[in-house]
Structure 1
Amino acid sequence: MTSSDINGEFLATFLSQVFLIFGGVLPYIPQYLDIARGDASGFSTLVCLVLVLANTLRIVYWFGHSFDDALLVQSVIMLLTMFIMLDLCVRVERLRRRSLSLPITERVFTDFKLEDFWAWTNLASYIQVTILIATIASATIFIFLDNSIVVEGIGYAALLTESCLALPQFLKNQRNRSTQGMNVLMVLMWALGDAFKEFFYVWKNQPLPFILCASIQLLMDFLILIQVVIFQ
């Protein structure tokens, strides 16, 4: 192999890792801008729940079964992105209720009300739940670090959860019989990113859970795009 081939492979790997790390954030930029204009009704915050849970578990899984560092960094970036999205949704909902002179009932995680789960009125509650999930998962994986079944179980839980990323949005669209308020560009970028991830996972010979996850995500992306055609 010549030096130019080596340099070319290094560049291809580097660029693919950069895209993998930051590409997952790009679909949320158009949706963020839509919400910032004052309408959060079309976006399901359960999408954020899925990604917070999946990426928290994936970070913990790395300590039991190390995978490509770019995927680890991607998980950290995605967690931060979801907190930004949740913070925006909370603030926009407050502004909407004030503009309509509707009462604002404070809902926080420490009230421990099941009916308020993932519908809190402050960002701190979402962060507290994330810390709790990370603590429980970390304790589990370190106690059973030598048990491959437990370690891989956490890996599959993380990636199967991530594979359901689009499911809350799909169900919300189906329930409303409409895709109004959902940014179609976001879904198209989901599909592009998931196709790239599928290629990257196979190319870099990543653990099987990663490959299965990307395949399921691609299927869900196409189902939502079908909804766009049907409900328009």
Structure 2
Amino acid sequence: MSLVRWTLTHIAPVFIVTSPVTSYADQIWSIKKSRSSAGFSLDIPLIMLVSSILKIFYWFGAHFDFPLLIQASVMIVVQIVMLYIALQNRPPFGAQHSLNQPFSEAKEGGIMVKRPLNFWQWRSRKPYWQFLAYYTAILAVLQFLLGNRASYVAIQGYVALGVEAVLPIPQILENRRIRSCKGFRLSVLVNWLIGDLFKMTYFFLSEGGIPWAFKLCGLFQAGCDCYLGTQYWMYGDGSRRSGDESKNSIRVA
């Protein structure tokens, strides 16, 4: 048992650090190769960048295990590259406003509701980078003013990990709505589930100090990923559904 624990607690950190690359490298290459980001939601880099940047500042107050800090740093680099390539290869304006983007629009009573100020739906590339710069600057100021307060540090942790934990939810809702997993890559699901296994092992068996924010939000995300697996088993990849229905699928990677 001690050998298993030693193996998992030493292999898991390596997997955690490299997971941003293994999870998203294929998506980046696919967009680059096809010269189109059609079907890819720009909300994926939004969620991961908001979460990972906040995690960096959270580390200064919580001093959680170093591999988790490295993972957040690597994730920022990977997501910036993916956002840059996705913006460079965006489809025509009409195609961008399809149901392939889970957070792009909300539906209320059959009416499509736009986001305030078209947040993260801008046609120009510049506002995306401006938002990230302003967001980072605001967090830096808050860190300087409130970084020594335990309550603020706790809020940082739960917000950062909570934002990351909701990543699977739009995919779950869309799969349920169209009763299909068309466009959702099985390889991504497998990678997420393996990642959950390593993360949970590392969080609960590591001798280092892992804040409960990581554990609770990790458990929630693992539960969502398991439900995605159940959906894939129930609905399949939608290959036999009609062409009209297949247009309403999401591609999340």
TM-score tier after normalising by the smaller chain length: 0.7 to 0.9
Q: Does residue 1:48 correspond to 2:52, yes or no?
A: no
Q: Which runs of 5+ in 2 are unaligned?
A: 96-114, 237-253
Q: Considering only aligned residues, what root-mean-square deviation do their CA atoms show, in Å?
A: 2.8
For residue 92 of structure 2, the aligned residue among 94, 97, 122 is 97
Greater Cα offset, 84-93 or 35-44? 35-44
Q: Does the CA contact (< 8 Å) of 1:57 and 1:137 recur in 2?
A: yes
Secondary structure of residue in 2 paired with 1:198: helix
Q: How many aligned residue pairs are there?
A: 210
> Following TM superposition, by how much is the alpha carbon of 1:158 offset from its aligned partner in structure 2, in angstroms?
0.6
Match runs of 1:152-231 below 5 Å: 152-204=154-206, 205-231=209-235
Deviates more, 1:195-204 or 1:84-93: 84-93
Amino-acid identity (%): 28
TM-score by length of 2: 0.72
Contact 2:12/2:201 (8 A) holds in 1? no
- CA shift, 1:42, in A, is 3.4
Higher helix share: 1
Instruction: Give the superposition deviation at 1:168.
Output: 2.6
The verdict on how the C-alpha distance between 1:86 and 1:177 changes in structure 2, with shifts beyond 3 A counting, is farther
TM-score by length of 1: 0.78
Contact map agreement 1:31 1:186 (CA 8 A) in 2 = no
Q: Distance in 2 between matches of 1:183 and 1:84?
A: 21
CA separation of 1:170/1:195 partners in 2, compared to 1, >3 Å: closer, same or farther? same
CA–CA distance in structure 1, aligned partners of residues 12 and 155 of structure 2: 28
**Corresponding letter in the other structure for 2:62:** H
Aligned with residue 126 of structure 1, among 113, 125, 128: 128
Offset at residue 212 of structure 1 (A): 0.8
What secondary structure does 1:136 align onto?
helix
Q: Distance in 2 between matches of 1:39 and 1:181?
A: 15
CA distance in 1, matches of 2:36, 2:226: 25
**2 CA distance for matches of 1:174 and 1:25?**
29
The Cα shift of 1:215 comes to: 0.6
Does 1:22 pair with 2:18?
A: yes
Preserved contact between residue 47 and residue 166 of structure 1 (Cα < 8 Å) = no
Q: 1:176 to 1:90 in 2, by over 3 A?
A: farther
Which stretch shows the higher mean deviation, 72-81 or 35-44? 35-44
**Separation of aligned partners in 1, 2:35 and 2:181:** 17
Question: Match for 2:216: what amino acid?
Answer: L
- What amino acid does structure 1 have at the position aligned with 2:13? Q
CA shift, 1:124, in A, is 4.1
Matched AA of 2:18: F
Aligned to 1:86: 83
TM superposition shift of 1:83: 1.6
Q: Is the 8 A contact 2:8 2:202 kept in 1?
A: no
Change (3 A) 1:137 1:196: same
Q: CA distance change for structure 1 residues 210 and 176 in 2, over 3 Å: closer, same or farther?
A: same
CA distance in 2, matches of 1:194, 1:89: 26
